[in-house]
Amino acid sequence: MKFDLKKRFKATLKSQATLTLFAFLIACYIKLCFLTIRWQGDAKKQLKKFANQSIILVFWHGRMLMMPKLWPTPQLMHVLISHHRDGELIAKVIHFLGYNTIRGSSSKGGFQAIKQILRTLKNESVAITPDGPRGPCFHLGGHLIDIAMMSQRPIVFACFATQNAKIARSWDQMIMPKLFSKGHLVVSEPITLPKGLAKEDTQQIIIKLNQKFLELTQQADTLANIKLEYL
């Protein structure tokens, strides 16, 4: 079942008071979903082993809703959020859920954001949606590779899917879980990239990681009986 998420957001984002209220309601929805979803296997435990490490947590823009609750230590995680219009809403939601934010994207504030990310990764973790803020969906951006090489911190990819969910008519095909559904989480092994790779090698790594992340995404979606359009 699909609905037009973009049209619903457009009017909401014009008023700060309404934006804050909407962000609070979304945060409540996320908490309620997480509590009522029947997470299968060891979904809730898979990310705990990384809780006290410094990692780059990666998940698709359309799979962000449950990730804040699946990560066990929000105070040690900083979430990269764009300066785009929907970024303000996401930032407010993230703050309501107890997370720190880093603002920036490839098109605005990117250099300062990368500097802050590298400082943060010395002791704590950073969460990045590599296909955000504009897409294309399920497409790995190059900044993730740059950050991983410069910081020498491992990339950990995670993807959730639920068996009952709405799929937004948005570029990211956002998964919006329904209460009391069954949930699945797939997490990769840590991936550390060497420093000083040539441009050709970097491009090959982007292609290989993108394929790996898509395979894990399809694995989660198969468990949840979800069918989407991938790359």
Q: What is the pLDDT of residues 164-186, one digit of tens each?
A: 999 999 999 999 999 999 999 99
Place of tokens 């929907």: 86
Select from 98, 63, 70, 92 the least CA-distant residue to 177.
63
Select from 178, 223, 189, 207 the least CA-distant residue to 50.
189
Place 218 in a pLDDT band, splitting at 50, 70 and 90: very high
Mean pLDDT, residues 192-207: 90
pLDDT, residue 106, reads 58
Mean pLDDT, residues 201-224: 96
More confidently predicted of 57 and 82: 57
Q: Residue 161: inside a domain, yes or no? A: yes
Q: Residue 113: inside a domain, yes or no? A: yes
Q: Residue 230: inside a domain, yes or no? A: no
Q: Residue 85: inside a domain, yes or no? A: yes
Torsion angle of the four alpha carbons 62, 66, 72, 78, in this order, in degrees rounded to the nearest 10: 40
Q: Does the structure show a pLDDT above 80 at 107?
A: no
Helix (H) or strand (E) holding 68: helix 67-70
Mean pLDDT, residues 93-100: 96
Q: Residue 138: inside a domain, yes or no? A: yes
Q: Is the dihedral of CA 204, 210, 213, 218 positive or negative?
A: negative
Q: Residue 21: inside a domain, yes or no? A: yes
More confidently predicted of 55 and 229: 55
Query: pLDDT by residue (tens digit) across 123-143?
Result: 999 999 999 888 899 999 878
pLDDT, residue 12, reads 57
Q: Residue 145: inside a domain, yes or no? A: yes
More confidently predicted of 163 and 197: 163
Q: Does the structure show a pLDDT above 80 at 110?
A: no
Select from 185, 117, 174, 112 the least CA-distant residue to 145.
117
In the chain, what is the straight-line distance between the N-terminal and C-terminal CA atoms, in Å?
A: 21
Q: Does the structure show a pLDDT above 60 at 23?
A: yes
Token pair belonging to 54: 């410094």
Place 203 in a pLDDT band, splitting at 50, 70 and 90: very high
Q: Which domain holds residue 167?
A: 2-223
CATH code, domain carrying 144: 3.40.1130
Q: Residue 231: inside a domain, yes or no? A: no
The DSSP output letter for 49 is G
pLDDT, residue 119, reads 97
Instruction: Give CA separation, 190 vs 69, 74, 142, 218, in Å.
Output: 20, 19, 18, 19
Token pair belonging to 60: 């698709």
> What type of residue sits at position 202?
T
In contact, 201 and 89? CB cutoff 8 Å:
no
Q: Domain tally for the chain?
A: 1
Q: Does the structure show a pLDDT above 70 at 20?
A: yes
In contact, 140 and 130? CB cutoff 8 Å:
yes
What is the average pLDDT value for the chain, to the nearest integer?
91
